[in-house]
Structure 1
Amino acid sequence: MLSASSAPVIRATLPVVGAHLNEITDRFYKRLFEAHPELLRNLFNRGNQANGEQRQALAGSIAAFAQGLVDPDGPGVSGARDLMITRIAHKHASLGVIADQYPIVHKHLFAAIVEVLGDAVTPEVAAAWDEVYWLMAETLIAAEKGLYEEAEAPEGSVWREMEIVERLQETPDTVSFTLRRVDGRPAGTFRPGQYISVQVPLADGARQIRQYSLSSTPDQADWRITVKHREDEPVPGEVSGRLHREARPGDVLTVSAPFGDMVLPEGDGPLLLASAGVGCTPMMAMLGRLVDEDSKREIIVVHADRGPDQHAHREEQRRLVEQLPQAQLHLWYEQPDARTPEASVGRVDLDALALPKDVTVCLCGPLPFLRALRGDLLRRGVPATAIHYEVFGPDLWIARG
């Protein structure tokens, strides 16, 4: 809780600070990487730094947290703040972030605030925003500590080596890799829907980290990730490209313990699992677990893609759905063909589906897909608390409210 002396200061200065947060975070990252270039090479996603998405996500999360402190009783504020903290904590834990790194961030963030706002940063203003920072940092540190304990990994020690034992070309631009621990121990279980981080050394000596959803059934001896890479993207992924070009059976990857907060909802209530593109990967783990449990839940599976040839795990997904007595599969393709006469053309139209009462929803795919489907679901009366999602990359959604 924000102190009585700081609350009016934050309330008064939040509009000004918020208006300059993108500039502040831009200066912050420049200062941070000048002082600690190894962080850009070996921890932060260079692609997200280059396109500005990480800066936007940081700015939005700070503003959202501060707003929640000064207006804790606002509609949906508490739940949104808790979700934001949970998602950031899972991402940090998957990177092995430790408490000792927060003072480094504080030093360069507050130097950037002073650079941008100048004389407006009075001692009173600095003290109030310092309180906001440490309230957010300490909340994250506590959440990350709990995640490390749950993973039985001392703070930051989340990494293990796993060998690629199988590589399958799922589609022209999607490859799956089956991973097995090199020490002979079982890979370990995970909650269906979670992801792992993968460290990949690049040609320039950097060690970049990316997250990939686990697309295998949780209780199998090995893990599987599915990696999409398109060379025709404006900025092709450097890590996905390296894995596509070079990763082969026998190679060893350094990967993290599983993390991620969008997991298979418990209970026996109805489910809607909706995905687009490679967003089908966490849904594969969920379907696998449901099959293993011989689930009788009512399940609607929705998937959108460019076409059947681009739909990763298409036949496997169909087989899993067919093994669930109360499940149905609905496909939307931009370019369907004779192999999939049941597929609809174009974008997903949830109005074409009868949604069960009290349905719980899991969404995964590109941000425009998530926004569109969430809006449709809210319009149809599905509560926001029943809609869960995973977005690949910085979460620009929740930070903007």
Structure 2
Amino acid sequence: MLSEQSIPLIRATLPAVGAALGEITTRFYAGMFQAHPELLRDLFNRGNQANGEQQKALAGSIASFATLLVERPDARPDAMLSRIANKHAALGVTSEQYKIVHEHLFAAIVDVLGDAVTPEVAAAWDEVYWLMAGALIAAETRLYQERRLAEGDVWRRMEITERNEETADAVSFVLRPADGSAAESFRPGQYVSVQVELPDGARQIRQYSLSSAPGRGQWRITVKRVHEPAAPDGEVSTWLHRNARVGTVLTTSAPFGDLVLPDGDGPLLLASAGIGNTPMLAMLDHLAATGSPRRVTVVHADRSPAEHAHRDEHRRLAEALPDAALHVWYEEPGDADLGTASLGQADISALELPDNLTAYLCGPLPFMRAVRAALLGRGVPAASIHYEVFGPDLWLGQA
């Protein structure tokens, strides 16, 4: 909770800071990477830096946290904090790195706002930062402890035992620990980081959902190739498509992620678009493997049948459940038999949805916004709608 003396200062300066956050975060990253180039080379996603998405996500999270502190002082954005903490843990972020962020973030604030940052204003925003950083450090500490890991010690060597071309642009890899042991378990819906060494010596990291059920002593990830191989956002997926073969040893993190299948027997909606079906596949696989009687509504949208990764598996897993219904939409028919799929955009307005539904969404932001809005319109509480974003979270619709 923000101190009484800081609340009026944050309320008064929030409009100015909020309006300048884009410039502040841009200068922050530039200054931090100049002082610590290894962070851009080996920790931060160069693609998200190049396209500006990381800067926007940081600005949005700071503004949301500060606004909540002054408008709803007894509340905390736990969903946002949990999502960030899991991403950080999957990167091996440590508490010491928050000191580096603090130094360069406040230098950028002073640089942009100048004399408006009085000692009192600086102290108030310092309090905001450490409230948010402290909450994240505590959450990340719990995540490490749950995995029985030392802080930041998340990396392990995994050998590829199978490579399967799922579509022209998506390939799946089955992984087992390189030492011959069984892969550790995870919760359906979680992801791992994959770190690869690129030709320029950088060790870039990307997250990929685990796309099959836990408990089999192995993992599976599915990687969609980004069609800009020369650009930073496509460099890891392109490397994996070109170089990762059976016998290749990858450096991966332990599993993390907060979009996880809940316990119990309540009804579920698993809605995905494109490669966003990967966490849903793990959930469906787990439900089928455990003989779950839960009522499950499965929704998927894709460009065409040929681009629907794990298409046959997606359908087979849904059909294996005693009380599941699969609804698929394709924008284009392609050459494949559509079967029971529909043409056009996904539309859940006519679907029969049970009471007490818990919904899980994964896919492009426009898809998730549309599905979330439709669910809210049909009376599904916001707290019952969960989502996963591949990349920086540019959507502050998680309230």
1:302 aligns with 2:299: yes
Report the CA distance between 1:234 and its aligned residue: 9.8
Q: Could you list the per-position Cα deviations for residues 293-329 of structure 1 after superposition, in whole angstroms to 9, with x for gaps in the alignment?
A: 2111111111111111111111111111111010111
Asked whether the 8 Å contact 1:198–1:256 carries over to 2, the reply is: yes
1:158 aligns with 2:154: yes
Q: Distance in 2 between matches of 1:26 and 1:382?
A: 38
Report the CA distance between 1:146 and its aligned residue: 0.1
Partner of 1:95: 91
1:326 aligns with 2:323: yes
Q: Distance in 2 between matches of 1:146 and 1:118?
A: 38
Report the CA distance between 1:358 and its aligned residue: 1.1
SS at match of 1:171: coil
Partner of 2:343: 345
One-letter amino acid of the counterpart of residue 349, structure 1: D
1:315 aligns with 2:312: yes
Question: Which residues in structure 2 correspond to 1:84-163 (within 5 Å)?
Answer: 84-163=80-159
Partner of 1:358: 356
| Structure 2 CA distance for partners of 1:345 and 1:399, relative to 1, 3 Å | closer
Q: Distance in 1 between matches of 2:398 and 2:37?
A: 29
Partner of 2:178: 182
One-letter amino acid of the counterpart of residue 354, structure 2: P
Question: Which residues in structure 2 correspond to 1:1-400 (within 5 Å)?
Answer: 1-72=1-72, 78=75, 81-231=77-227, 235=231, 237-336=234-333, 339-398=337-396
Asked whether the 8 Å contact 1:57–1:399 carries over to 2, the reply is: no
One-letter amino acid of the counterpart of residue 151, structure 2: E
SS at match of 2:75: helix
Asked whether the 8 Å contact 2:296–2:323 carries over to 1, the reply is: yes
| Structure 2 CA distance for partners of 1:66 and 1:399, relative to 1, 3 Å | farther
Q: Distance in 2 between matches of 1:372 and 1:389?
A: 13
Q: Could you list the per-position Cα deviations for residues 67-123 of structure 1 after superposition, in whole angstroms to 9, with x for gaps in the alignment?
A: 1111116xxx936x1111100000000000000111111000000000000000000
SS at match of 1:272: strand
Asked whether the 8 Å contact 2:228–2:234 carries over to 1, the reply is: no
Q: Could you list the per-position Cα deviations for residues 182-235 of structure 1 after superposition, in whole angstroms to 9, with x for gaps in the alignment?
A: 112210110000000000110100000000000011111110000001426995
Report the CA distance between 1:400 and its aligned residue: 9.2
Q: Distance in 1 between matches of 2:148 and 2:314?
A: 32
Asked whether the 8 Å contact 1:61–1:399 carries over to 2, the reply is: no
Q: Distance in 2 between matches of 1:132 and 1:95?
A: 24
Report the CA distance between 1:268 and its aligned residue: 0.5
SS at match of 2:361: strand
Aligned residue pairs total 397
Asked whether the 8 Å contact 1:273–1:302 carries over to 2, the reply is: yes
SS at match of 2:318: helix
Report the CA distance between 1:399 and its aligned residue: 7.6
One-letter amino acid of the counterpart of residue 246, structure 1: N
Q: Distance in 2 between matches of 1:316 and 1:103?
A: 46
Q: Could you list the per-position Cα deviations for residues 24-71 of structure 1 after superposition, in whole angstroms to 9, with x for gaps in the alignment?
A: 000000000000000000000000000000000001111111111111
SS at match of 2:152: coil
TM-score (norm 2): 0.97
Asked whether the 8 Å contact 1:160–1:255 carries over to 2, the reply is: yes
One-letter amino acid of the counterpart of residue 70, structure 1: V
| Structure 2 CA distance for partners of 1:297 and 1:400, relative to 1, 3 Å | closer
One-letter amino acid of the counterpart of residue 40, structure 2: L
Report the CA distance between 1:341 and its aligned residue: 2.9
Q: Could you list the per-position Cα deviations for residues 237-266 of structure 1 after superposition, in whole angstroms to 9, with x for gaps in the alignment?
A: 110000001111111100000000001122
Report the CA distance between 1:342 and its aligned residue: 1.1
SS at match of 1:78: coil
Report the CA distance between 1:139 and its aligned residue: 0.7
Asked whether the 8 Å contact 1:84–1:399 carries over to 2, the reply is: no
One-letter amino acid of the counterpart of residue 89, structure 2: A
| Structure 2 CA distance for partners of 1:397 and 1:180, relative to 1, 3 Å | same
Seq. identity, %:
66
One-letter amino acid of the counterpart of residue 58, structure 2: L
Q: Distance in 1 between matches of 2:230 and 2:262?
A: 36
Asked whether the 8 Å contact 1:64–1:400 carries over to 2, the reply is: no
Q: Distance in 1 between matches of 2:261 and 2:339?
A: 30
